[in-house]
Amino acid sequence: MYSESDLQAAVDAKVLTPEAATAFRSHVASVRSAPAADEESFRLITGFNDIFVSIAAVILLVAVGWIGESIHPALAGAFVAGSAWFLAEYFTRKRRMALPSIVLVLAFSAGVCATMIGFLVKHGEAIFGNRLDETTGAVLVGAIAAVTAAATWLHWKRFMVPITVAAGTAALAATAVAIVLAIAGVDSPDGTLPMILVLIAGLGVFTLAMWWDRSDRVRQTRRSDVAFWLHLLAAPMIVHPIFHLLGVTRGDDIGSAAAMLVLAIYIAFGLLALAIDRRALLVSALAYVLFAMTQLFRTFGAVELNVALTAFVIGSALLLLSAFWQNARAAVVGLLPEDVANQLPATIRSISPQPAS
């Protein structure tokens, strides 16, 4: 399997001409009856060797973390982060292996974070004593997240793994939320304030994802992969707070009105997903709409088959949407102002083959 990044690398290395690469993309699009932009492709595995190496890397990282933990809690994370960076020098920079690269960057970020947490676990009481209140705790969380984000940025500059930007952005979002909570110092036992902050952060991540998407409308470069992971991060940060604030997550019975509202929001998410050509919002909200429809069928008396009917309706709708995704996208984008439509990924009606820059 070859990704768009591999194809562009071949063009850059003059193995293929830009015209040949464009012709190949056009051929694949015609065979699949969809432009590559609509496939939302991202590189995960190129063969079973990716899985084999990933499993071996996880085993090794667990081992070095265990050894570090036996010496000092902070060394568990430090050993994992150092080993992940060392392994990335070969499997990411030289071998360009997708799944191991993802595993290693996540292990590196987690290791950096775990190093600071391990240090606080060992020495936190000696440093802070009884002065560790909620505000101080929020500041510490923000500091840990900020350092993790900075380390992740260094990893990005070295290895350019697309998921790295999403990992660093997640750390920055956690930093921002922690700082605001520390400054506000407002007690929110129902979690309303944190959820509002996560929603705002999620909208910020979504905006960043759209910025990356806008820079590669035909999705032929690494920028599209970066946008994919950012959308995957933004989706739960937007979806979960919205439904939490609506009370969907607080009980077994949300009522017919709330269930209808959930369905309406899901339809809005579907229209947005079509416009931006990203499916992450639909996947993240799927559990909530399944729950809402189950409640509706129960309300209308279909108690015994409510789960089956819900699965049938949602499954059929999503399959139909997938089958006619390109035509539905063209219709939705066609309703938007031209200046807005020109910022979105090209549709099947508007795409014109062009070499990636």
Which of 157-166, 278-287, 298-307 is predicted least confidently?
Answer: 298-307
| Residue 87: pLDDT band with limits 50, 70, 90 | very high
Judge whether residue 217 has pLDDT over 60: yes
Strand, helix or coil for residue 258: helix
Which of 84-93, 244-253, 273-282 is predicted least confidently?
Answer: 244-253
Judge whether residue 354 has pLDDT over 50: no
Average pLDDT over residues 318-335: 89
| Residue 356: pLDDT band with limits 50, 70, 90 | very low
CA distance 64 to 62: 6
In terms of pLDDT, which residue wins out, 296 or 48? Answer: 48
Residue 155 in contact with residue 105, Cβ under 8 Å?
yes
CA distance 76 to 66: 6
Amino acid sitting at position 84: A
Tens of pLDDT, residues 97-109? 889 999 999 999 9
Average pLDDT over residues 161-166: 93
Does the predicted model carry a pTM greater than 0.85?
Answer: no
Residue 301 main-chain phi, psi, to 5 deg: 100, -5
Q: Domain limits of the chain?
A: 253-357
Judge whether residue 84 has pLDDT over 90: yes
Average pLDDT over residues 25-42: 57
DSSP state string for 285-297:
THHHHHHHHHHHH
Provide CB contacts within 8 A for 233, sequence distance 6+: 166, 169, 170, 205, 209
258: nearest Cα among 247, 250, 270, 266: 247
Tens of pLDDT, residues 63-72? 999 999 999 9
Residue 89 CB coordination number (10 Å): 12
In a 10 Å sphere around its CB, with 0-12 CB exposed, 13-18 middle and 19+ buried, how is residue 357 labelled?
A: exposed
Rounded to whole angstroms, what are the CA distances from 186 to 143, 173, 191, 193, 312?
A: 20, 19, 11, 8, 44
- Residue 267, token pair as written in the block: 């339809």
Average pLDDT over residues 333-342: 89
Q: 């775990």: which residue's tokens?
A: 114
Residue 161 in contact with residue 101, Cβ under 8 Å?
yes
What's CA 142's distance to the chain center, in Å? 21
